[in-house]
């Protein structure tokens, strides 16, 4: 990993001598474009050589979007007759009288002729002129308990709270196949399981990405080191290392260190920070719907800073901040497989890619159907903060790899969408342990050795756990009664972590507005695990929940103050107080069940 980071830094350092062919080219006025005019476009059909094709203007479509226009044209020449408008052609610049009019960005799937929609260049440039505003951190109400909801969700994207992917209909390629729509972006995948790619393909296609499967990575030295210019292939590297995920398109216009490309949104994620690389074309595969460009990722040249309605903006010489990931899989055959890679930092893409890569690592080695138990441990290193440790276990006949992948991505998603802009993830470690057995156990009953006890004395509990194969495990645990507790009845509750989590969630526990990142991290690290039992000593007594935390033994005057109209919304009354809670040692089972008994404190 250190070598890779050094090579990326070296690539940026060498940018001083890396030729970028900027342009003093003029823009052709949109109002001067007329049907019947002819011009030419630039793109790469093979390797790194920029070739030309012919363009005939059919007309200008006004207001195809809010103050957005489109130039409709017919393409010809070069290899266009064989390929038509192809995925990865987005951004190919088009000229009339050697003046730039815009970028090829839209097409008609299944069209018998290569018609294309061209995004006007002025609209591509002007959308990036605005300056980012400095905004205060948004105070968001969070609930770490919801990280466990992934086991209830049927799809991958439904867990990741980014509505822009659902309100951007132009990115949906499954509808209106006969209408003009953004040219699809080919997504080259290497180091990923074909089964995992198939699992995620529908989600990727909803984002306008066409998975190019099983292509691997090409050798960079096989391609001529041509300068980046308008018409050159560029790639957006989302994952790099032992796993590579890269999207490709075409550079439209270069002005100084600013690179404009695509002519339509990549993912429409606004301000961002994604690695921008040069690319080479292996070949173009003709297809009746939309032909696809097979590309290779070459050296790093900069970072994509914005992704908006009329294209993307990259800046040469800047390096995107990626997150190193180490993924270790302890297989059911007592082997250890390790993958090291880096992922982009983005509120949606990071958890989605973590889920993708974890799922791939599991299904490439383990069964997808049949008895299986998978334990996931995720450690996240945050700059200037203590580490985050999240743990979950899944045991099922089907779907275990899916739930495990979601569990690994859940804390990443939660943190990135918590509202703390200063949060910097320095490293993510994912440890996965798989066995081809269903390891589940239900808390069947508990016994106690005494009904009355003095403060400071112990009650000995016998716990009976019924395994899925019918066998019973018997565990014994001593429980010490607090010395300062007053006389009266006391409940002893024994339950698994998830049962208690659900109980607390119903009471409103865990939901709060964190005042600091450290408070949020502590809340995550205190989450209960589903492979452990917990013992609580509970008494019916007036208390309150304030800012998501239990407040037992509050004096009546303070309860009255918090409950007054002046502080409405701050307090939730509760009828029980937890005196002590013990976390018992981890087991190899996914536990379920809740039992309680009572003792009388003399």
Q: Which alpha helices (H) appear in 218-266, and where do they start and end?
A: none
Distances (CA, A) of 459 to 302, 454, 538, 541, 585: 65, 10, 14, 22, 18
pLDDT at 485 over 60: yes
pLDDT value of residue 562: 54
Confidence of residue 434 (pLDDT cuts 50, 70, 90): very high
Given the structure tokens 């949060």, which residue do they identify?
A: 423
The dihedral through the CA atoms of 11, 16, 19, 22 has a sign that is positive
Confidence of residue 502 (pLDDT cuts 50, 70, 90): confident
Distances (CA, A) of 586 to 9, 163, 393, 506, 529: 43, 38, 11, 25, 9
Q: What angle do CA 328, 334, 340 make, to 5 degrees?
A: 15
164 alpha carbon, distance to own chain's centre:
14
Q: What is the pLDDT of residues 439-467, one digit of tens each?
A: 999 999 999 999 999 999 999 999 999 99
pLDDT value of residue 504: 82
Q: What is the pTM of this model?
A: 0.84
Highest mean pLDDT among 157-161, 183-187, 224-228, 274-278: 274-278
Q: With contact defined as beta carbons under 8 Å apart, do 315 and 257 qualify?
A: yes
Domains and CATH numbers, the chain: 18-127+142-320 (2.40.10.10), 323-435 (no CATH), 440-601 (no CATH)
């Amino acid at each position: 990993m250190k070598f890779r980071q050094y090579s990326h830094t070296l690539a940026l350092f060498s940018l001083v001598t890396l030729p970028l062919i900027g342009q003093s080219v003029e823009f052709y006025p949109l109002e001067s474009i007329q049907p019947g005019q002819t011009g030419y476009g630039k793109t790469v059909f093979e390797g790194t050589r920029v070739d030309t094709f012919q363009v005939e203007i059919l007309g200008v479509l006004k207001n195809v979007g809010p103050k957005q226009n489109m130039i409709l044209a017919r393409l010809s020449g070069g290899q266009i007759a064989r390929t038509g408008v192809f995925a990865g052609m987005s951004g190919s610049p088009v000229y009339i009288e050697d003046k730039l009019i815009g970028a090829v960005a839209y097409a008609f799937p299944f069209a018998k002729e290569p018609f294309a929609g061209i995004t006007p260049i002025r609209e591509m440039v002007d959308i990036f002129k605005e300056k980012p505003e400095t905004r205060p951190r948004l105070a968001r109400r969070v609930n770490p308990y919801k990280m466990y909801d992934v086991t209830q969700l049927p799809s991958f994207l439904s867990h990741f709270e980014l509505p822009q992917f659902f309100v951007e209909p132009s990115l949906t390629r499954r509808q209106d196949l006969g209408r003009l729509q953004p040219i699809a972006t080919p997504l080259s995948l290497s180091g990923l399981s074909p089964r995992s790619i198939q699992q995620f393909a529908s989600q990727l296609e909803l984002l306008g990405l066409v998975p190019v499967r099983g292509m691997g990575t090409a050798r960079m030295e096989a391609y001529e080191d041509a300068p980046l210019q308008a018409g050159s292939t560029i790639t957006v590297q989302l994952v790099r290392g032992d796993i590579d995920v890269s999207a490709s398109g075409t550079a439209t216009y270069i002005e100084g260190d600013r690179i404009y490309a695509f002519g339509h949104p990549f993912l429409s994620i606004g301000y961002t920070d994604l690695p921008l690389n040069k690319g080479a074309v292996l070949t173009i595969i003709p297809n009746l719907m939309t032909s696809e460009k097979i590309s290779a990722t070459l050296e790093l040249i900069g970072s994509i800073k914005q992704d908006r309605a009329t294209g993307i903006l990259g800046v040469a010489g800047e390096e995107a901040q990626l997150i190193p990931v180490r993924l270790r899989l302890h297989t059911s055959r007592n082997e250890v497989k390790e993958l090291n890679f880096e992922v982009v930092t983005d509120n949606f893409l990071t958890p989605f890619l973590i889920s993708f890569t974890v799922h791939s690592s599991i299904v490439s080695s383990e069964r997808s159907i049949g008895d299986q138990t998978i334990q996931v441990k995720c450690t996240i290193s945050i700059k200037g903060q203590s580490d985050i440790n999240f743990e979950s276990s899944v045991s099922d006949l089907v779907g275990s790899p899916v739930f495990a992948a979601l569990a690994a991505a859940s804390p990443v998603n939660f943190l990135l969408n918590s509202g703390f802009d200063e949060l910097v993830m320095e490293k993510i470690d994912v440890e996965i342990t798989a066995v081809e057995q269903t390891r589940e156990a239900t808390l069947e009953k508990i016994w106690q050795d005494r009904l009355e006890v003095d403060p400071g004395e112990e009650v000995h509990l016998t716990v009976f756990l019924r395994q899925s194969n019918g066998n019973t495990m018997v565990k014994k645990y001593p429980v010490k009664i607090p010395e300062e507790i007053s006389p009266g009845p006391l409940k002893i509750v024994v339950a698994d972590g998830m049962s208690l989590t659900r109980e607390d969630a119903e009471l409103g526990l865990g939901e709060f507005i964190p005042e600091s990142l450290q408070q949020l991290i502590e809340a995550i690290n205190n989450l209960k695990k589903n492979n452990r039992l917990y013992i609580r000593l509970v008494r019916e007594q007036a208390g309150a929940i304030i800012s998501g935390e239990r407040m037992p033994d509050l004096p009546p005057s303070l309860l009255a103050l918090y409950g007054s109209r002046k502080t409405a919304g701050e307090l939730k009354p509760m009828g029980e107080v937890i005196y002590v809670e013990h976390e018992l040692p981890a087991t190899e089972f996914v536990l379920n069940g809740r039992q309680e008994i009572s003792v009388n404190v003399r």
